[in-house]
Amino acid sequence: MNPISIFCFVTLLSFCFHQIPLVESSDDLITQTCSKTLYKDLCEKTLRADPGSKGAKVEGLAKIALKAAASNAKTIQSQIASLLKTTSDKQVKEALEDCSDNYDGASEQLSDSLGALEAKRYADVNVWVTAAMTDGDSCEEGFESGTSPLTQANTNFGHLTSNVLAITNQLKA
């Protein structure tokens, strides 16, 4: 083969490999997966923060998102416990006690969801995550007398659980 033919062949081969990725990178999969959620930025931030997302498939990303929501529920439970110690307002205290019960339930439901996800029972995951999301909403609605001290936390929890549902729905397809 003459040098010009070799050059043309190598150039053509190089061009082909640039145009057709051999393996989809985890960053591309995260972007693609999160593009189907309502809270894309939060989804990407959550998944990229976990070292396990590198090389993960969609099921692994769903597990990471689910664990992040469960961790967030536990953080909110700690926040509620702190608020209960320092709050003197009777109505706020009652609402916080209800929130504590709600997030106990949400944590249990998210734990059940993890088992269902590992067993590929995606419909069950959706039922449990939806129930956990409802628990967060119920907490927020319990503050009839005024502003909830948990509004931001409840909203973030709702967004995290929404992302879990969107990712899990991709597995069902």
Say what the pLDDT of residue 13 is. 37
More confidently predicted of 16 and 133? 133
Chain mean position to CA 5: 52
pLDDT at 166 over 70: yes
Domains and CATH numbers, the chain: 26-169 (1.20.140.40)
For 55-97, the pLDDT digits (tens) are 999 999 999 999 999 999 999 999 999 999 999 999 999 999 9
Q: DSSP states of the chain as a string?
A: --HHHHHHHHHHHHHHHHHS-SS--HHHHHHHHHTTSS-HHHHHHHHHHSGGGTT--HHHHHHHHHHHHHHHHHHHHHHHHHHHHH---HHHHHHHHHHHHHHHHHHHHHHHHHHHHHTT-HHHHHHHHHHHHHHHHHHHHT-TTS--TTHHHHHHHHHHHHHHHHHHHHHH-
Inter-residue contact 141 to 150 (CB < 8 Å): no
- Determine whether 16 is exposed, middle or buried from the number of CB atoms within 10 Å of its CB (0-12, 13-18, 19+): exposed
pLDDT per position as a tens digit, 92-142: 999 999 999 999 999 999 999 999 999 999 999 999 999 999 999 999 999
